Structure 1
Amino acid sequence: MAVSPGSDAAFTSQKSTLSENPRTKKFPLTEEEIFYMNCRAAYLTIFKSSLENIISKDQLCLALQYAGRNPSQKTINKYWTPQTAKLNFDDFCIILKKEKPTSKAELLKSFKQLDVNDDGCILHTDLYKFLTKRGEKMTREEVNAIINLADVNADGKFDYIKFCKLYMTTNEQCLKTTLEKLEVDSKLRRQQFGSHVERPPERDPSPVTKQSPRIIRKNDQETFSNKGDTRSPLLSTSRKFKTSVSFTITMSANSNRNSKLTEPNVKDWQYIQSKGCFFLEEDGEIISHQYRMQIAQKSMIYLTIKPLNLSQVEGKLSPWSSVDTALYILKESESQSNLQLVCFTEQRNREVFGWTGELGPGIYWLIPSTTGCRLKKERKPITEEAQLVYRDETGELFLTEEFRSTLLDIFEVIDLDGNGLLSLEEYNFFELRTSGEKCDEDAWAICKENFDTRKNELTRQGFMDLNLMEANEQEGDPRDLWVTLHSMGYNKALELTEACPFVIDVYAEKCKPRIKAVHMEGCSGQLEKAICKSVLNKGDTKVMGGYENIIIHTYNCDTWITSVIENKSDNKVIIHINNELSKNCINNRGLNVFAVEVAPKSTMVCQHVMPLNEHQEWLYCCVYSLI
């Protein structure tokens, strides 16, 4: 009887929440529409898109719990048989229609049978006997989870009335939060469409209940017992396309390893360097440092970006060195809001991307970019958590060698100018990333009084001592230290898996360039515009047949392929993208089939694609269809 994290226990009770939507004010949602909206909200709590399939019993159980169900093992086995390979979103909706949510009255009735004193409480001993020996038996660990809920247990008794109230309130609040996130999150609304986009199938005026629109089934048992060859719902007869256009590009093995980047003779050129990092956010967005560069006079410039190797072993590359990097150069004209794309680092020599050319005097913005194909959320479980601190025989607290080594790497990443010291500005990038707050001048003065500094900047030893002080303040509790580590991209094994540090090198023939990190932002805004502009300038173009205002642009830079959708019309469009015929490819969305919504009079980056294995031939074959 585990507490499930989300519920549609009373779909109709959600009308007040949904009525805030402008459309529902004019056209109130039907019960059927509310049902499908709740289904989609629960599904997208687990998956990136309603086009993804459920591929395990555990996923099915979790999805049902987020939808307010409390499935027994018997229920799970009914829908996930030994022959089941996958279930899709439409199957999930059918299951939810069959498995009604538990009501508060039903819960109270079940518990009341054990209430021998009729006082709203059950002895823990009786609860153990009932839940572990009758019906769908629970394990002792599962029963302990209920008994350990502080709000509903006291003096060896379980207050089932409070539990039922907590259970229903938690479910309703979780669903409300999920629905609100779905409503306001523009990324979900723009990207994550499934076979039910915003509403259920077209309303049938007849009183006969319609089946799920994916396929017409002989019977429900066939739906759930023969999934080995189930086709994608986007290829079903219910999906109607107005027109389609396709791109096919064959790339040879190692073609992206060919050296096209030629370094000029920079022996007498002026040189400056800056470091930075790509960070992967919880929602999958990638953010990074951004820079302003000043060129005093017209000069030839040689500019490169590459992953920063932090490996302590000579000759061994860091694991994130395979992450692609690029740098977009934009010139500031009159104001920061008016930036014009000049160029980007499209030439490559192994992990180094660069550009050579002439720049006139002025202010330039350097915006780093990575496709996100190889910098993604980690999914592998960590079996053993690294130890961060320990106490010696006297009880004094110390940092472990493994943690100290990690802190030294972090220091290298946040020491943006590479001088071996942390300025207040550099330290504040670190603080904003890990705590969300800046260190002011007064706090910095105190920091300098208590920790080792040089030239008013924090040394490596000072940075170590600062972290040790934090551990001592928490009396050895490492939780705050782990918050810092997770924010910097480290997992519980102290592996850097969700960040990619990089280094930018700038050479100028006739003047000393100046470069400064100014802020940290996501891959949207100016970067999105710059990528779209570069693809429109250099990519291949195809117009949707019969729809000349909808244009697909595809750019191949040998290392990756980027597609941009341009919508010149006055109406939004939904484009279905199918990569299922591609071979040896990965994309930044993590899905072979998905759909995107493109606003009127706009362009958007549709996807980036890279080879899964660079040493093998890869085939990009993508079909874009107008829904």
Structure 2
Amino acid sequence: MAISPGSDAAFSSQKSTLSESPRSKRFPLTEEEIFYMNCRAAYLTVFKSSLENIISKDQLYLALQHAGRNPSQKTINKYWTPQTAKLNFDDFCIILRKEKPTSKAELLKSFKQLDVNDDGSILHTDLYKLLTKRGEKMTREEVNAIVNLADVNADGKFDYIKFCKLYLTTNEQCLKTALEKLEVDSKLKRQHFGSHIEASPEREPSPVPKPSPRIMRRSDEDTFTNKGDTRSSFLATTRKFKTSVSFTVTMGANSNRNSKLTEPNSVKEWQCVQSKGCFFLEEDGEIVSHQYRMQIAQRCMVYLTIKPLNLSQAEGKPSPWLSVDTALYILKENESQANLQLMCFTELQNREVFGWTGELAPGMYWLIPSTTGCRLRKEGRAVAEEAQLVYRDEAGELLLTQEFRSTLSDIFEVIDLDGNGLLSLEEYNFFELRTSGEKCDEDAWAVCRENFDTKKNELTRRGFMDLNLMEANDREGDPRDLWVTLHAMGYNKALELTEACPFVIDVYADKCKPRIKAVHMEACSGQLEKAICKSVLSKGDAKVMDGYEDIIVHTYTCDTWITSVIENKSDNKAIIHISNELSRNCVNNRGLNIFAVEVAPKSAMVCQHVMPLNGQQEWMSHSWSWCPPAWPCSCSSPGTAFPPSPTLAVVRQAAKIGATAWSWILSILGRGLLAQCTIAQ
């Protein structure tokens, strides 16, 4: 990303605007809430609602600029490829998480690289050369528009200090205008994706009467209202919508509704194969993991299990990620890899182990691991002290600390997929792709074998340690590259594994030895999304929305989690809103109490996963879904529930600058000036 406003200015604008809200005076917003508020504010300067899609590069440019980002053409092309038809609000939020804003100090520093006289300005002749010859080139007419602007030009010089101040002020005013619009119009906020701050004004849920199973009757709603519950206003609001449907599931502590997972009696005599893998949490909250192909030579009984891998060396102190849920979906190849048929998934449970037993025909199968994302989440707490990775002994020799060596040993255990105590080239390349994005070719691997300890042409644990020590020596003890590796593998600054969950898969067969191989490390989407939808549609409880017979909400309940899928059988897209406000002791994978999803025509999508916050206590999941009024759905007529948002002209007026200045700012920033300054260095 190139130039963007100083985070301090943007942040102060948010605080000053939101501080006027009665809710924020009582309950200060979290950083996450401010982030989503900022996302919506930026989005609504370009679109009427955050349910609309970005359908062009120009729209993406403009929305990102209003969010305090300055995308270069290279950045835009990264997110808008030739295959991209549209991006939704969720995609926009993901992009903003990845593309961090630049501070005011960094912005000024980039200009100072071109300030030969160190007087806060750049000669017009130098500016012409920079903007027309380097980076993403501007036309001479565009540069003329810049140098002719009186506010930031004088005596043949471009005053970049004034320019930075003008840009930061403009961005702050734009953000403030949009935030004020959101604050004034509560109905508008109710419609937006992630509009969780529109929920109950109380932070902690108040005790509520237990609703009747499945459907909440009108009398139940009246009970809430009459008792003065803080959610009464929300329930009253939902009555105004054309249709709604609710699911209520109450689970006891360590509930065992489904059958327990039990091993087949003779499983110890069956042939077994094992493979390890790992779920990794990306910066944008997406989860990636290994995926596998399995070959079964003949029809036989199969017993599959998946569970978190315990790496703890201390007896009685299990690894903290053992509470992360795991599942395995088994799909059969039919003629091609693109044509996969869902066979089963590991729905039976025994403590942290999930498994399945049944008969499989000979053929090739895909094993796709899954976790809901309810407990594998971004870490909120800050680490007080950074762990030391390397040190020098009395002779000045660089060595790895014992704590770092222990961490590397655990990483070795995770990437040693077949568990033979050695790293093959294929196993090592999964590690390389994860940490550097590049593969090690045969020639580089040969050099590695020559310089580091190997056995049977595979890297030993000692060789892996020495490889990391060599990297530290190459940087003369600077640990920054080592930290890049550790963060990619899910470790924080205290060397705690907080954003990854290693797992182990065991496959037993009674008549032949299965063959299993890791083939990909991909996002937990695509085929997995289809598999989850198919499993929930076939096994879950279904409810049709009153008046919308083509919109069906399916809910599947197991001992550990609840999954909801929305099916849209109509020829039109459907906008469905979901509330979890009445749930108790629950956490969902979206991290929001109120949100909306868009379901494409003739399709189904995973709405949410819900798990208990504390599995030792009773938990109740109450999910309420509805369609907004006058919004295109399977049966509704076209229309909009939103008043017009501030237009660009209003934003210009609020910023108190002329249209020419605003167009110029967008023009120069849209060319990625910061990137150009870096090239010119």
The equivalences for 1:145-294 within 5 A come to 149=109, 151-152=111-112, 161-168=159-166, 212-214=185-187, 241-256=241-256, 260-264=260-264, 265-294=266-295
Q: CA deviation at 1:240?
A: 5.9
* Correspondence for 2:607: 606
The equivalences for 1:134-533 within 5 A come to 149=109, 151-152=111-112, 161-168=159-166, 212-214=185-187, 241-256=241-256, 260-264=260-264, 265-533=266-534
2:544 match: secondary structure: strand
1:272 match: secondary structure: strand
* Correspondence for 1:572: 573
Unaligned runs of 5+ in 2: 43-102, 122-151, 153-158, 190-199, 204-229, 629-681
Per-residue CA deviations over 1:171-229 (Å, capped at 9, x if unaligned) read: 889999x9xxxxxxxxxxxxxxxx99xxx89xxxxxxxx9525499xxxxxxxxx9779
Q: Is the 8 A contact 1:564 1:603 kept in 2?
A: yes
Per-residue CA deviations over 1:91-147 (Å, capped at 9, x if unaligned) read: 989999xxxxxxxxxxxxxxxxxxxxxxxxxxxxxxxxxxxxxxxxxxxxxx99699
Q: Is the 8 A contact 1:5 1:174 kept in 2?
A: no
2:355 match: secondary structure: strand
Aligned counterpart for 2:26 among listed residues 81, 84, 89 = 84
Q: CA deviation at 1:235?
A: 6.7
> Aligned pair 1:534/2:535, yes or no?
yes
Q: Is the 8 A contact 1:86 1:228 kept in 2?
A: no
Per-residue CA deviations over 1:607-627 (Å, capped at 9, x if unaligned) read: 000111111111111111012
For residues 317 and 494 of structure 2, what CA distance do their matches in structure 1 show?
19
Per-residue CA deviations over 1:455-481 (Å, capped at 9, x if unaligned) read: 000000100010011111111111111
For residues 79 and 93 of structure 1, what CA distance do their matches in structure 2 show?
18
Q: CA deviation at 1:163?
A: 2.1
For residues 440 and 150 of structure 1, what CA distance do their matches in structure 2 show?
38
Per-residue CA deviations over 1:32-63 (Å, capped at 9, x if unaligned) read: xxxxxxxxxxxxxxxxxxxxxxxxxxxxx96x
Q: How many residues align?
A: 487
| AA of the residue aligned to 2:185 | S
For residues 75 and 573 of structure 1, what CA distance do their matches in structure 2 show?
33
Q: CA deviation at 1:523?
A: 1.4
Q: CA deviation at 1:165?
A: 2.3
2:542 match: secondary structure: strand
| AA of the residue aligned to 2:600 | A
Distance 1:170 1:467, change over 3 A: farther
For residues 146 and 360 of structure 1, what CA distance do their matches in structure 2 show?
61
For residues 358 and 607 of structure 1, what CA distance do their matches in structure 2 show?
31
Distance 1:498 1:392, change over 3 A: same
Distance 1:467 1:174, change over 3 A: farther
Structure number with the bigger relative contact order (C-alpha 8 A, sep ≥ 6) is 2
Q: CA deviation at 1:558?
A: 1.6
* Correspondence for 2:595: 594
2:313 match: secondary structure: coil
Q: CA deviation at 1:232?
A: 11
1:518 match: secondary structure: strand
For residues 169 and 367 of structure 2, what CA distance do their matches in structure 1 show?
46
1:494 match: secondary structure: coil
Q: Is the 8 A contact 1:275 1:415 kept in 2?
A: yes
Give the structure-2-normalised TM-score: 0.65
Q: Is the 8 A contact 2:589 2:608 kept in 1?
A: yes
1:282 match: secondary structure: coil
Q: CA deviation at 1:560?
A: 0.5
Distance 1:523 1:171, change over 3 A: farther
Distance 1:252 1:403, change over 3 A: same
For residues 22 and 111 of structure 2, what CA distance do their matches in structure 1 show?
35
| AA of the residue aligned to 1:268 | E
CA RMSD of aligned residues (A): 3.9
Q: Is the 8 A contact 1:306 1:325 kept in 2?
A: yes
Q: Is the 8 A contact 1:273 1:417 kept in 2?
A: yes
Give the structure-1-normalised TM-score: 0.70
Q: Is the 8 A contact 1:247 1:621 kept in 2?
A: yes
Q: CA deviation at 1:6?
A: 3.9
Per-residue CA deviations over 1:469-527 (Å, capped at 9, x if unaligned) read: 11111111111111110000000110000000000001110001100000011111100
2:394 match: secondary structure: coil
| AA of the residue aligned to 2:505 | I
For residues 415 and 405 of structure 2, what CA distance do their matches in structure 1 show?
15
| AA of the residue aligned to 2:251 | M
Q: Is the 8 A contact 1:277 1:288 kept in 2?
A: yes
Q: Is the 8 A contact 1:258 1:349 kept in 2?
A: no
Q: Is the 8 A contact 1:290 1:368 kept in 2?
A: yes
Per-residue CA deviations over 1:208-266 (Å, capped at 9, x if unaligned) read: xx9525499xxxxxxxxx97799799778699632100011111111149870010121
For residues 467 and 170 of structure 1, what CA distance do their matches in structure 2 show?
43
Per-residue CA deviations over 1:1-51 (Å, capped at 9, x if unaligned) read: xxx9549xxxxxxxxxxxxxxxxxxxxxxxxxxxxxxxxxxxxxxxxxxxx
Instruction: State the identity %.
Output: 69
Q: CA deviation at 1:164?
A: 2.7
Q: Is the 8 A contact 2:18 2:24 kept in 1?
A: no
Distance 1:397 1:80, change over 3 A: farther
For residues 447 and 317 of structure 1, what CA distance do their matches in structure 2 show?
35
* Correspondence for 1:626: 627
Q: Is the 8 A contact 2:108 2:164 kept in 1?
A: no
1:432 match: secondary structure: helix
| AA of the residue aligned to 1:164 | K
